[in-house]
Amino acid sequence: MSSNLPDQSPLGSYTEKLTIETPEQTLLEFGIAGIGSRFLALALDTLIQILIGFIVGLGGTMALGALAAALPKSAVWGAALLVIFFFLLYFGYFAFFEIIWNGQTPGKRKAGIRVIKDSGRPLTVAESIARNLLRIVDWLPGFYAIGIASALLTKENKRLGDLVAGSLVVREASFSDLKTVWHTAPAPTGPVLAPLGAAKLTPEESALIDSFLMRRSQLDFDVRVRMADQIFQRLKPKLTLPADNTMSAEKILESLAYERRATGGYA
């Protein structure tokens, strides 16, 4: 995938959307997360870190006191392990959750945002680690001053870690919203339709349909219709459509998604 941002905004200007062109020449649009939602996510994650740090720190201090009385030399190693733990808690916390939760931490999940690559793909493990190690610099000289300045000077609200990893933070529909999208997509009614050919689609084409269906509620109507038609035209040669087909492109994509789910094509 490649990023396609036709507007060349001046330095420091802000854009609300990212347009990505897929290898299938289909445009996908993502809403860029604002500084406010990112700050909320950071505040929630920091609160979780403080609570974990307080509990472990209290227990660790008590354990070190007992260890120092029994084995004074061993207490030094215990203190070193405690320091390493707090380092990993602060910097490893973000990378750990972004790796296992596909770009989200507990705070990001609550704020409804997610980290992705500029290309729209998920970050690799190495990219997520590099992105979060740069928090050391973003924090300087205090309270994320450099990170905030970087976000204000880039139109996609990127801090230094994002610039290094080639990532950005986008708005993500909540899990309940995604569920509603699937449940409100009407299943075929009337006579049972013959399979449209979902089994012929590649995993990438199926993922493309998923991506559109999950984000369509965030799109302007004209963009939504155009994107559905672009995806449909791309897949049409593989599909088996009835001669009297009257379904819209979006309904056909919904039917393909249901067909694939019904045959166990979704994990």
Confidence of residue 110 (pLDDT cuts 50, 70, 90): very high
pLDDT of residue 126: 93
Query: Does the pLDDT of residue 228 top 80, yes or no?
Result: yes
Query: Does the pLDDT of residue 117 top 60, yes or no?
Result: yes
Evaluate the CA torsion angle 137, 142, 147, 153 in order and state its sign.
Answer: negative
Percent of the chain with pLDDT over 90: 24
pLDDT of residue 27: 59
Check if the beta carbon of residue 151 is closer than 8 Å to that of residue 35: yes
Omega within 30 of 0 (cis) for the link into 10: no
Our separate counts of H helices and E strands in the chain read 12, 5
User: Nearest to residue 244, comparing CAs of 193, 197, 181?
Assistant: 193
pLDDT tens digits along 70-102: 777 777 777 888 889 988 898 899 999 999 998
Return the C-alpha torsion angle 60, 64, 65, 71, nearest 10. Answer: 160
The more confident residue out of 94 and 240 is 94
Query: Does the pLDDT of residue 26 top 80, yes or no?
Result: no
Model pTM score? 0.59
**Token representation of residue 137:** 């610099």
pLDDT tens digits along 128-163: 999 999 988 988 887 788 888 888 888 888 999 999
User: Nearest to residue 135, comparing CAs of 262, 5, 42?
Assistant: 42
pLDDT tens digits along 183-227: 334 444 444 456 788 888 888 888 888 888 888 877 778 888 999
The more confident residue out of 27 and 128 is 128
Average pLDDT, stretch 100-121?
89
Letter string b/e over residues 166-177, b meaning 16 or more CB atoms within 10 A of that residue's CB: ebbbbbbbeeee
143: left (phi over 0), alpha (psi -120 to 50) or beta: left
3-class DSSP assignment, residue 239:
coil
